[in-house]
Chains A and B, each alone.
Chain A
Amino acid sequence: DQQVKQNSPSLSVQEGRISILNCDYTNSMFDYFLWYKKYPAEGPTFLISISSIKDKNEDGRFTVFLNKSAKHLSLHIVPSQPGDSAVYFCAASAGDSWGKLQFGAGTQVVVTP
């Protein structure tokens, strides 16, 4: 039973526009959330994270929003660039889990010129 769900397998966006990626979770014990970016034939790389005590975290073009009551988080990329074309994974961890992460299935983002 997947505890972290990314219901959109793919997203196409024009260069310069906003990309919004969504993620839902079911485990109320999760207290830390991360987004990873993955290019083909490479391992995932850390993008941005947020603690459950916050509702927003921003890093340059990337912003993550957390709605704990809805068990929902989203990643906003503004403006989108061709280099942002990749698979994005949402992940979550509970505080006592030795850093074990639960991953969503991923969303393939394609940024078109």
Chain B
Amino acid sequence: NAGVTQTPKFQVLKTGQSMTLQCAQDMNHNSMYWYRQDPGMGLRLIYYSASEGTTDKGEVPNGYNVSRLNKREFSLRLESAAPSQTSVYFCASRLSTYGYTFGSGTRLTVV
């Protein structure tokens, strides 16, 4: 099915470990986004890519890096995971209007 695909769906990391969350969309959307969802806080923007070749910080970028590998793929990397990064991570894409298409999320636990 067309949409936004995120991998993995679940992950447990030890403090200090690194990992990359993968995101791919097949809708030919220009913009892609990474959000995290925490209880009582809604979704907060980590990084976004307005178009292929560009990336920019969002509201909560500390501890993360991103790569817009091509138009389809936008990855999120945690270089040294911390318990504060325990969250559900959502990738989203958008063409030119305001409607996002979200992936189904990655539930990350850092112990």
Q: A residues touching B (Cβ–Cβ < 8 Å)?
A: 2, 4, 6, 9, 32, 34, 41-46, 49, 89, 91, 93, 98-101, 103-106
Contacts and interface: CB of A to CB of B under 8 A. Distances in A.
B42 A46 contact: no
Contacts of B41: 2, 105
B104 to A, nearest CB: 5
A29 to B, nearest CB: 15
Interface of B: 4, 31, 33, 35, 40-45, 48, 50, 56, 58, 90, 92, 94, 98-105
A89 B58 contact: no
Given A4-B42, A49-B98, A105-B42, 10 more contacts: A34-B98, A42-B105, A43-B103, A43-B105, A46-B99, A98-B31, A98-B50, A100-B48, A103-B44, A106-B42
Contacts, number: 61
Given A42-B104, A44-B102, A49-B98, A103 B42 contact: yes
Contacts of B99: 34, 46, 49
A45 B42 contact: no
A103 B42 CA distance: 6
A62 B109 CA distance: 36
B42 A44 contact: no
B98 A44 contact: no
B100 A101 contact: yes
A41 B48 contact: no
Contacts of A43: 4, 90, 92, 102-105
29 contacts: A2-B42, A4-B42, A32-B98, A34-B99, A42-B104, A42-B105, A43-B4, A43-B92, A43-B102, A44-B43, A46-B99, A46-B100, A49-B98, A49-B99, A89-B42, A98-B50, A99-B31, A99-B50, A99-B94, A99-B100, A100-B33, A100-B58, A101-B43, A101-B45, A103-B35, A103-B42, A103-B44, A104-B42, A105-B42
